[in-house]
Every structure is written in C-alpha cells, then in structure tokens.
C-alpha cells in the first residue's frame, strides 16, 4: 500500500497543472466544478483509454475525471474564472494532504500558455487564423 501512496504523491505533485493542461488543451474544456470528488485514481488496467506509461505495470495508475455536466468550452466568457477555481480547489486539496504543487500563478500560466502555443502550431499547419488563439485574452 505504501508504494501506491508514494506513486499517488508523485502523480499529485504536478497534477493540477497537468490536469488543467490536458483538459484545456486536449479537450478545449474547463471542467467548471473540479474538486477531489471528481478525480479518480485507478490502476491503468481498469481504464479503457489508458495513457501509456513506462512505469511498472503494477504501480501504473491513471487519473480519471468524472462529472462534466457543468464543463464549458474554453472560449466561454467565464472560462478564466472557472479554470482558476478548478486549479485552486485541486491545489488546496493536495496542500491539505501535504503535497507541494506548482503555485497558482504558474499553474494557470502553464495551462494557458500551452494552449496559446498549440494555437500557433495549428495556425502554421492549417495556414489560417485559429479560433484557439488567445481565448482568454479578450476576457481580461
């Protein structure tokens, strides 16, 4: 059991930022109500679309998010505040568990800046202006 706790702590260290990035850039969504209650950590063998890992199979854990009923497109007028709230809640939970994570400002910038970089790459590939570029800038 201690091995799983150790592995969970490893996952949690960068989790709020990586989680936001995968959801924000990959799915172009902001959860809108993310908390520890919407995050499951399960063995990868139980996940249909598991993310491949080079880790020991016995220790390979996968994070699964649930409850997307209130998720919004990342261009939604409230996306910025929802993203900040999501990151803050998850960071707060891990802080209570004694897990040090990226600070809020760095977490937010990590997520948003990677989305902007993706928009630039998409624009170069497609040759047209992407709707992804600077989704939150107009809201500031």
User: Catalytic residue numbers?
Assistant: 33, 67
Cα angle for residues 31, 73, 48 (degrees, 5° grid):
55
Classify residue 46 as exposed, middle or buried by CB count within 10 Å of its CB (0-12, 13-18, 19+): exposed
8 Å CB contact between 113 and 133: no
């Amino acid at each position: 059991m201690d091995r799983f706790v150790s592995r969970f702590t490893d996952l949690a260290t960068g989790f709020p930022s990586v989680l936001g990035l995968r959801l924000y850039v990959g799915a172009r969504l902001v959860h809108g109500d993310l908390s520890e209650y919407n995050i499951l950590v399960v063995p990868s063998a139980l996940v249909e679309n598991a993310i491949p890992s080079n880790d020991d199979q016995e220790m390979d854990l996968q994070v699964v998010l649930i409850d997307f009923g209130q998720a919004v497109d990342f261009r939604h007028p409230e996306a910025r505040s929802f993203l900040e709230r999501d990151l803050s809640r998850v960071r707060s939970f891990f802080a209570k568990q004694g897990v040090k994570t990226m600070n809020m400002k760095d977490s937010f910038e990590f997520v948003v800046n990677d989305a902007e970089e993706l928009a630039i790459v998409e624009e170069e590939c497609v040759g047209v202006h992407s709707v992804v570029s600077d989704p939150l800038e107009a809201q500031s």
